[in-house]
Chain A
Amino acid sequence: MQLKISGKAYIFGDNIDTDQIYPGRYLELTAKADIASHCMEGARPGFATEVKKGDIIVAGKNFGCGSSREHAAITLKEAGVSAVVAESFARIFFRNAINLGLPVITCKKIHDNVKEGEILEIDLSTGQIKNQNTGETYQGEGLSDFVLSILENGGIKPLFKEKYGS
């Protein structure tokens, strides 16, 4: 995993819950491609076909609140989203995303300062986000060494496989 990411921003609001990220009626699906095809369907139908590999989601407060469904993190990662930057995250979503190797950055006021389609550059280790279109920078929270080590290994699975998988 690279510690610097850049991509086009898609803007969402506050309290984007797991039903909006991945509606409950698709929870029985288990194949990654199937899950990816319903990405953000509850919040913005058609997003799954619109989003390109490397794009970034920018949101307001409490992104990923609600259910513990890992489908919410899987759908974003498999649809090609390279990172989610939000003013705050719900706890289980945060864990699920890191475990799967999907970077999530907390940055206050990001939502009001970035417009849809602008290109953001994120430094995961410092939490600094640069808006290429406006030249502005926003200071997000850097990820802890513990979390960075999981991301750098591509998620918890490779780490666990090395430690416990016989």
Chain B
Amino acid sequence: MHALEKILAKHAAKDKVKAGEIVTCQVDLAEVNDLYLHVIESFYEMGGKKVWAPEKVAFVFDHYAPAPTIKSAANHKVMREFVWEHGIKHLFDINAGVCHQVMPEAGLVFPGMLLVATDSHTTTHGAFGAFGTGVGATDLACILMSGELWFRVPEVIKIEINGKLKPGVLPKDVILHILGKLGTEAAVYKAIEFTGDTVKNMDIPGRMVLCNMSVEMGAKTSYIKPDETTLKYLKSRGVDVEKLEIPETDLDYEYSETYNLDVSDLSPQIAIPHSVDNVVPVEAVKGTRVDQVFIGSCTGGRVEDIEWAYKILKGKKINDRTRLVIIPASRDVYLEAMRRGYVEALINAGATFSAPGCGPCLGAHQGVIASGEVCVTATNRNFPGRMGSTGGDIYLASPATAAACALAGKIVNPVEYIEEV
């Protein structure tokens, strides 16, 4: 069995499961974000009285943090009251950040666990060897009542990545390149495992980027085998690693597909409007005017991402016709970026900082774009209207590319801007 199958088998109290089988599993952690008042409505509609295990539930207010409208404020209010009434242990209010960043930071994510959240990017937690998957409101309400959910055991696709990335080429470029090659449908109802030297040498934030965007290929979940890098991160977040039971993939496990990739010659990549798999080298669209740059979200809002902006922009000014919005993915990220002097340097360079959360990634607030505008963003989706007007053009790129574009006011290759760093 694959490690992911072992996770499902254990949570279904079965010795063995196989791809395609439907199993009912006990969930270790259920997370609800603030787009999902329907979870609470469905819970009561189905006759829910008590939350099955309040210590295994987290609510995270990230998509509307802080509340931009009266309606979203009212939704927050009802959700807070639900949390308090049911004694739910983990409430990350508007001061916390994006769910996929704050849960690992709080030590809630570990290898071998089954994590279900009302967010498609829950695949991110494969970076820790967890089985993380997104569901809608009704599924989550079912978990709140019963602690269980049905799953189809997924086939697993192996993507082996080897080679040393060139300076200025980031994990985001790798996953965009993979998306461009495999397309948006490559992994529907399947899981993706990332392996190979490049992944082995990648830090946790980089691994999170790969796993995060695997959902853009339709993946149900993703997986990177936990190693010393994983354990070191977990320890730093207060996880008792000695107690972990980390499942391993059997040597005779047969992957549904295997892809091999050498990234040593990869150049910075960019997904052009309006599809995440519409990927070309940045060079191909060089010179395109840029109105706004966004660095933030569960894909591109970590300290390492803001560090790239700092390296490229410190002591300089962004183009006077371009806006740069930076939103740290969490309070911890924000504090660390401040301690390191990144925030001050970037504000001096012309950046606008906003409160930790999802920001304009989903077009709710804090920097949505107008019709006719071009946004280069370190986030995950460039669907029409995703970040505001359907008449806007969204380009997905690495935080280094995004920062260089803010400086130049047009799409540029960041490699030309980092040699002088």
Q: Interface residues, chain A, CB within 8 Å of chain B? A: 15, 17, 19-20, 23-25, 27-30, 42, 61-62, 65-71, 73-74, 88-92, 95-96, 99-100, 146, 155-157, 160-161, 163-166
**Interface-facing stretch out of B130-138, B200-208, B228-236:** B130-138
Cβ B138 vs Cβ A91 within 8 A: no
Complex Cα spacing A151 to B262, Å: 46
Other A-B pairs beyond A19-B383, A92-B136, A160-B47, 13, CB < 8 Å:
A17-B383, A23-B385, A30-B75, A42-B385, A62-B184, A62-B188, A70-B36, A90-B218, A91-B188, A96-B136, A99-B138, A146-B22, A165-B46
Within 8 Å of chain A (Cβ to Cβ): is B275?
yes
Nearest-neighbour CB distance to chain A for B37, whole angstroms, equals 5
Cβ A92 vs Cβ B38 within 8 A: no
18 A-B contact pairs sorted by A residue (CB < 8 Å):
A19-B383, A23-B390, A28-B35, A29-B71, A30-B38, A66-B120, A67-B119, A69-B136, A92-B134, A92-B135, A99-B138, A156-B139, A157-B42, A160-B145, A161-B47, A164-B145, A164-B146, A166-B47
Within 8 Å of chain A (Cβ to Cβ): is B125?
no
Cβ B139 vs Cβ A99 within 8 A: yes
Q: Which 9 A-B pairs have the closest CB atoms?
A: A165-B47, A70-B136, A96-B136, A24-B363, A70-B137, A24-B362, A99-B138, A68-B134, A19-B383
Complex Cα spacing A29 to B71, Å: 7
Choose among B46, B384, B385 the residue that contacts A160 (Cβ–Cβ < 8 A): B46
Cβ B136 vs Cβ A28 within 8 A: no
Within 8 Å of chain A (Cβ to Cβ): is B49?
yes
Within 8 Å of chain A (Cβ to Cβ): is B172?
no
Q: Which of chain B's residues has its CB closest to A29's CB?
A: B71
Known: A70-B38, A165-B47, A165-B48. A91 touches B142 (CB 8 A): no
Cβ A70 vs Cβ B383 within 8 A: no
Query: Cβ of A99: which chain B residues have Cβ within 8 Å of it?
Result: 136, 138-139
Choose among A61, A92, A156, A163 the residue that contacts B120 (Cβ–Cβ < 8 A): A92
Cβ A24 vs Cβ B385 within 8 A: yes
Cβ B218 vs Cβ A65 within 8 A: yes
Complex Cα spacing A70 to B134, Å: 11
- Interface of B, helix, strand, loop or mixed by DSSP: loop
Query: Cβ of A15: which chain B residues have Cβ within 8 Å of it?
Result: 184, 275
Write the B33-67 contact mask toward A (1 if CB under 8 angstroms, else 0). 00111100110011111000000000000011000
Query: Cβ of B120: which chain A residues have Cβ within 8 Å of it?
Result: 66-68, 92
Nearest-neighbour CB distance to chain A for B393, whole angstroms, equals 14
Q: Which of chain A's residues has its CB closest to B218's CB?
A: A90
Complex Cα spacing A68 to B136, Å: 5
Q: Interface residues, chain B, CB within 8 Å of chain A? A: 22, 35-38, 41-42, 45-49, 63-64, 69, 71-72, 75, 118-120, 134-139, 142, 145-146, 150, 184-185, 188-189, 218, 220, 275, 362-364, 368, 381, 383-386, 388, 390
Complex Cα spacing A29 to B38, Å: 10
Complex Cα spacing A27 to B120, Å: 15
Query: Cβ of B49: which chain A residues have Cβ within 8 Å of it?
Result: 166
Complex Cα spacing A88 to B392, Å: 27
Nearest-neighbour CB distance to chain B for A154, whole angstroms, equals 12
Cβ A95 vs Cβ B386 within 8 A: no
Known: A70-B136, A96-B138. A27 touches B362 (CB 8 A): yes
Cβ A20 vs Cβ B142 within 8 A: no
Cβ A100 vs Cβ B362 within 8 A: no
Cβ B390 vs Cβ A95 within 8 A: no
Complex Cα spacing A69 to B386, Å: 13
Query: Cβ of A42: which chain B residues have Cβ within 8 Å of it?
Result: 383-385, 390
Query: Cβ of B135: which chain A residues have Cβ within 8 Å of it?
Result: 68, 92, 95-96
Complex Cα spacing A30 to B42, Å: 11
Known: A15-B184, A30-B37, A62-B184. A20 touches B383 (CB 8 A): yes
Query: Cβ of B388: which chain A residues have Cβ within 8 Å of it?
Result: 25
Cβ B383 vs Cβ A66 within 8 A: yes
Residue from A25, A68, A99 with most neighbouring chain B CB atoms (10 Å): A68
Nearest-neighbour CB distance to chain A for B401, whole angstroms, equals 23
Query: Cβ of B384: which chain A residues have Cβ within 8 Å of it?
Result: 19-20, 42
Query: Cβ of A65: which chain B residues have Cβ within 8 Å of it?
Result: 184, 218
Query: Cβ of B188: which chain A residues have Cβ within 8 Å of it?
Result: 62, 88-91
Query: Cβ of A17: which chain B residues have Cβ within 8 Å of it?
Result: 381, 383
Cβ A28 vs Cβ B220 within 8 A: no
Choose among A24, A91, A156 the residue that contacts B386 (Cβ–Cβ < 8 A): A24
Query: Cβ of B75: which chain A residues have Cβ within 8 Å of it?
Result: 28, 30
Q: Which of chain A's residues has its CB closest to B36's CB?
A: A70
Cβ A164 vs Cβ B48 within 8 A: yes
Nearest-neighbour CB distance to chain B for A23, whole angstroms, equals 5
Q: Which of chain B's residues has its CB closest to A158's CB?
A: B46
Residue from B41, B150, B383 with most neighbouring chain A CB atoms (10 Å): B383
Complex Cα spacing A58 to B136, Å: 22
